[in-house]
Structure 1
Amino acid sequence: MLEVKNLKKSFGSRVILDDVNVTVKDREILSIVGPSGAGKTTLLRCIAGLETADSGEFLIDGVAFDPAASDTSESVIGVVFQDFNLFPHLTVFENIMLAPTMVLKNTKSEAQDEAKTLLNNLGLDDKGELYPHQLSGGQKQRVALARALAMHPKILCYDEPTSALDPNLRREVEKLILKLKQDGMTQLVVTHDMEFAKMIADDILEVNYLDNSNQK
């Protein structure tokens, strides 16, 4: 279970997150919703250690941890980014294998075997030798998901996973997220799409703009 307690984050004089509390139970999905610019992605980035919180506490299964300084030999939080963040000069296989070989110290053979399994499970078994520019948006997203899963995270986070997808692909993403839940993955989904959030989530956290009118 992930717990975030009294999280605060500001950029300059603007307070983005003020005493935010989040709980995501094991094997459940939390959707974080709200208008653009209200702090949804900032919250996700703090949880993932990509932004440093000003204050607050993070716990996994009751044990405190610092997302920004956690031991990279054990992936705690995986992230599927809105813009995918695939390396354009690497093939699909190489994108997925990079972190497991460099961080987890898997052999190239081990990493490739797992990459093949992940791609097969995601319906991309014939895309391993392609480069990102040769893929559709939906295919890039699934590659980004495979790359995150290759690190065996305890919790998987998504930043606006349906923002660039048509309705048919949105349903495919919904199926993937619910399938991962069946497999036991705890997930956190940032989205502006309330309908999508309701379809996948066990719980919904709404993030709204803060009144910074009294800030200098």
Structure 2
Amino acid sequence: MIELKNIKKSFNGRPILDDINLTINDGEILAIVGPSGAGKTTLLRALAGLGDIDSGEILLDGKPFDPRSSDLKNNVIGVVFQDYNLFPNLTVWENVTLAPKMVLKMTKTALENEIKPILTHLKLAGKEGLYPFELSGGMKQRVAIARALAMKPSVLAYDEPTSALDPSMRTEVSNLLLDLKKDGVTQIVVTHDIELADKIADKIFRVNAIS
């Protein structure tokens, strides 16, 4: 369980997050919704250790937790970015296994045993040798999810997962997130897509722009 208590963040004197209090329970899907500029992505970046906060506290299972100083070997939050951030010169397999090999020091046997089931579960079996330019938008997203899952995070977070997808792919994404929930994966979804949030989320947290 992750708890946020009285989180505040300002940019150039302008408050973006003001006294945010939030609990993310294990195994649930939390959707963070709100207008552009309201701080959704700022909140996600703070949770993932990609940005700092001005004040407040983040707790992990009741204990103080600083995502910025977290040991990558004990990865807590894996992030699937809006533009996927795949390495264009690496294959699907290389994109997914690079971090586990370099950071977690996983052996070739461990990679085969642990990563291949992830690819199969995400319907990427047989695509291991393809490069990002050969993939559809939906497939790139699944590769990005596989890459995040390969680091064994406690929580998987998404920044606007349906923003660049057509309606049919949006349905595929929602089904995928619900399938991961069945596997017990805790997920945070930052989105402006209210329909998606209503369909997948156990809890919806609304952030509003501060005037």
- TM superposition score category, shorter chain reference: over 0.9
Q: Deviations over 1:141-179 (max 9, x none)?
A: 000000000011111101001111111111111111111
Confirm whether residue 184 of structure 1 aligns to residue 189 of structure 2. no
1:22 aligned counterpart, secondary structure: strand
Give the letter aligned to residue 26 of structure 1.
Answer: D
2:87 aligned counterpart, secondary structure: coil
- How far residue 89 of structure 1 moved from its aligned partner, in angstroms, is 1.2
Report runs of 4+ in structure 1 exceeding 3 Å deviation. Answer: none
- 2:103 maps to 103
- 1:34 maps to 34
2:109 aligned counterpart, secondary structure: helix
Confirm whether residue 81 of structure 1 aligns to residue 68 of structure 2. no
- How far residue 11 of structure 1 moved from its aligned partner, in angstroms, is 1.4
Query: Does the CA contact (< 8 Å) of 1:41 and 1:190 recur in 2?
Result: yes
Distance 1:178 1:35 in 2: 24
- How far residue 110 of structure 1 moved from its aligned partner, in angstroms, is 1.6
Confirm whether residue 45 of structure 1 aligns to residue 45 of structure 2. yes
- How far residue 18 of structure 1 moved from its aligned partner, in angstroms, is 1.0
2:143 aligned counterpart, secondary structure: helix
Distance 1:186 1:117 in 2: 19
- How far residue 103 of structure 1 moved from its aligned partner, in angstroms, is 1.2
**Structure 1, unaligned stretches of length 5 or more?**
212-216
Distance 2:111 2:157 in 1: 22
Distance 2:106 2:47 in 1: 26
Give the letter aligned to residue 53 of structure 2.
Answer: A
Query: Does the CA contact (< 8 Å) of 1:93 and 1:112 recur in 2?
Result: no
Distance 1:108 1:4 in 2: 38
Distance 2:114 2:163 in 1: 28
- 2:193 maps to 193
Distance 1:113 1:92 in 2: 16
- 1:24 maps to 24
- 2:68 maps to 68
- 2:209 maps to 209
Query: Does the CA contact (< 8 Å) of 1:161 and 1:173 recur in 2?
Result: yes
Identity of aligned residues (%): 64
Distance 1:170 1:184 in 2: 22
**Structure 2, unaligned stretches of length 5 or more?**
none
Give the letter aligned to residue 192 of structure 1.
Answer: H
- How far residue 59 of structure 1 moved from its aligned partner, in angstroms, is 1.0
1:126-165 superposed matches below 5 A = 126-165=126-165
1:125 aligned counterpart, secondary structure: coil
Distance 1:54 1:161 in 2: 27
- 1:214 maps to none
1:128 aligned counterpart, secondary structure: coil
Distance 1:109 1:132 in 2: 25
- How far residue 13 of structure 1 moved from its aligned partner, in angstroms, is 1.7
2:85 aligned counterpart, secondary structure: coil
- How far residue 14 of structure 1 moved from its aligned partner, in angstroms, is 1.6
1:17 aligned counterpart, secondary structure: strand
Scaled by the length of structure 2, the TM-score of the pair is 0.97
2:175 aligned counterpart, secondary structure: helix
Query: Does the CA contact (< 8 Å) of 1:74 and 1:104 recur in 2?
Result: no
- How far residue 113 of structure 1 moved from its aligned partner, in angstroms, is 3.5
1:23 aligned counterpart, secondary structure: strand
Give the letter aligned to residue 50 of structure 2.
Answer: L
Give the letter aligned to residue 52 of structure 1.
Answer: D
- How far residue 119 of structure 1 moved from its aligned partner, in angstroms, is 1.3
Distance 1:177 1:204 in 2: 15
Scaled by the length of structure 1, the TM-score of the pair is 0.95
Confirm whether residue 91 of structure 1 aligns to residue 88 of structure 2. no
Give the letter aligned to residue 46 of structure 1.
Answer: A
